[in-house]
Amino acid sequence: MTKLGILYIMVRVLVATERKICVKRGCPIVCDNGQRIIKKETCENSMDIKETKEKLNKTYGSVKEKVLGKLRSVSELGKRYIKAGAVCAAILTAGIVISVNFTPVYSVYLGGEFVGKVTAKSAFEAAYADVNETISKLDAPHETIGFIPDYIYGISLRRSVTDEYALKSNIANLSRAVRPACYISVDGNSVLCVSDETKAKDVIEKIRLSYGGEDAKIVSDVAFTNGFSHIRDITDSGLAGMNLASKINVETYETIVYDEPVPFGIEYVNNAEMYEGQTKSVSGGTNGSRTVTARVTKINGIETARTEISSAETVMAVAQVIEIGTKVPSGIGNGSFIDPTFGMVTSRFGARWGRRHNGLDIANDIGTPVKAADDGVVTHAGYDGDFGNLIIINHNNGYETYYAHLNSMDVAEGQKIIQGQKIGEVGNTGYSTGPHLHFEVRKNGVPTDPSKYLN
């Protein structure tokens, strides 16, 4: 009966805490924090509080009535039992509290120096061996620690048990060569070793702040790893960050205001008096100016991005005006010719060396422009024996003009040409003794003296 009573009270206490519990007899009750309560999902026998309450009321309801019935009728002796039970419960609770918060520990001493509290000697032995192995690897095998540990057994708060890194650090501090250290790595490369993580983070923060602006942001991948290092490799001086700074990318942001020119546009206007393809600028155009506010992003002080926030045009740009000819060439000459090129006349029309010279030779450098003497249509543009590169223009008024020995030709057969249009360049092709233009004027197919038509 007493057992049932205590069980009932305990179960009610558990229910009252509004936890989920396992009610299966013999179920290994283990909870998330080591206490005798269980999460539903970790025990197939658990059930919701409501279900539990119902089941408990059903299962133990009669027991409860029996217990209460008995209790109501007990004598003073019975009441003393109840008091004794309460004392036992208090002791039990205290016992649970102690077992949760306290644990047996070994306080470990090396050469009289306290190095930590461990729950098992093996934990210390492993840390000790690990530190000595590290010392050997750090090129200081003669500096390994050789103390025989002293253990003092006792009870301690669980939270005062020394963690593994602190334990190793305390051991390492007894060596002459090795100390706990924090390695700073940048983008995967270890670049600096300082004595601890606080100093490491401080170095990085100083680098960040050195770029000014609280919103400066480190964009390199910086990582801190606690470990151990040879004393000679630990850098804690103020210069620690100097070398590091060059390896770390820091992004900064600033808002700037500046004026910049606004390029003028071009306005095209048709001109029916000018031929197709001809253009003429009739007014120059002037740049405007605008004031821009922009956000500039820099990495290590060098601009990497600029985003315009706002702008205002302070001086309006004035467009350039260009006229475009729309007149279609007729392909019919007006009957008067202009000089096809310029230079020295080296041979005139007429008898030469016993033969008749059908044209006028005008000598000049290769590349000198050659122009159509009048409107017309190109009837030939190609290489032709002694003429070399030859253009023939039919003026559709009985006249044809010939342009020979050209270095290059700008027109094609069938193309309508206007007077003065560049058709090619002076050359030395075909039968020619030097760069010159051989120019002919043929009237109804008969060569005539070009001099008669030129100024």
Stretch binding Zn ion (CB under 5 A), from 116-124, 293-301, 326-334, 435-443: 435-443
Q: How far is the CB of 325 from Zn ion (least distance, A)?
A: 34
Q: What does the block give as tokens for 432?
A: 């020619």
Stretch binding Zn ion (CB under 5 A), from 113-121, 243-251, 356-364, 416-424: 356-364
Q: How far is the CB of 347 from Zn ion (least distance, A)?
A: 5
Q: How far is the CB of 362 from Zn ion (least distance, A)?
A: 9
**Residues 6+ away with beta carbon under 8 Å from 287:** 261, 262, 263, 264, 317
Shorter beta-carbon distance to Zn ion: residue 395 or 438: 438
Instruction: Check binding of 442 to Zn ion (CB under 5 A).
Output: no
**x/- contact string, 53-72, with Zn ion (CB under 5 A)?**
--------------------
Shorter beta-carbon distance to Zn ion: residue 359 or 388: 359
Stretch binding Zn ion (CB under 5 A), from 209-217, 315-323, 413-421, 434-442: 434-442
In the block, residue with structure tokens 């290092």:
229
- DSSP letter at 143 equals G
- The residue number with the shortest CB distance to Zn ion is 438
Q: How far is the CB of 352 from Zn ion (least distance, A)?
A: 8
Residue choice 19, 168, 438, 442 for contact with Zn ion (CB under 5 A):
438
CA torsion sign for 420, 423, 425, 427 is: negative
Shorter beta-carbon distance to Zn ion: residue 359 or 376: 359
Q: Using CB under 5 A, count the residues that bind Zn ion.
A: 3
Q: How far is the CB of 359 from Zn ion (least distance, A)?
A: 5
Lay out the sheet containing 189-194: strands in order across: 189-194, 178-186, 222-230
Q: How far is the CB of 337 from Zn ion (least distance, A)?
A: 17
Residue 216 vs residues 256, 296, 302, 306, 349: alpha-carbon distances, Å: 16, 12, 13, 16, 85
Residues 127, 105: Cα–Cα separation, whole Å: 16
Stretch binding Zn ion (CB under 5 A), from 28-36, 117-125, 167-175, 359-367: 359-367
**Residues 6+ away with beta carbon under 8 Å from 300:** 211, 249, 250
Residue choice 251, 323, 361, 375 for contact with Zn ion (CB under 5 A):
361
DSSP 112-131: TEEEEEESSHHHHHHHHHHH
Shorter beta-carbon distance to Zn ion: residue 116 or 424: 424
Residue 230 vs residues 81, 125, 335, 418: alpha-carbon distances, Å: 68, 22, 102, 91
Q: How far is the CB of 390 from Zn ion (least distance, A)?
A: 12
Shorter beta-carbon distance to Zn ion: residue 251 or 425: 425
Q: How far is the CB of 335 from Zn ion (least distance, A)?
A: 24
Site residues (CB under 5 A) for Zn ion, limited to 127-186: none
**Residues 6+ away with beta carbon under 8 Å from 336:** 374, 453
In the block, residue with structure tokens 């119902």:
54
**Residues 6+ away with beta carbon under 8 Å from 77:** none
Q: Alpha-carbon dihedral of residues 238, 244, 246, 249, nearest 10 degrees?
A: -120
Stretch binding Zn ion (CB under 5 A), from 19-27, 268-276, 353-361, 409-417: 353-361
Q: What size, in residues, is the chain?
A: 455
Q: How far is the CB of 361 from Zn ion (least distance, A)?
A: 4
Residue ranges that bind Zn ion, judged by CB under 5 A: 359, 361, 438
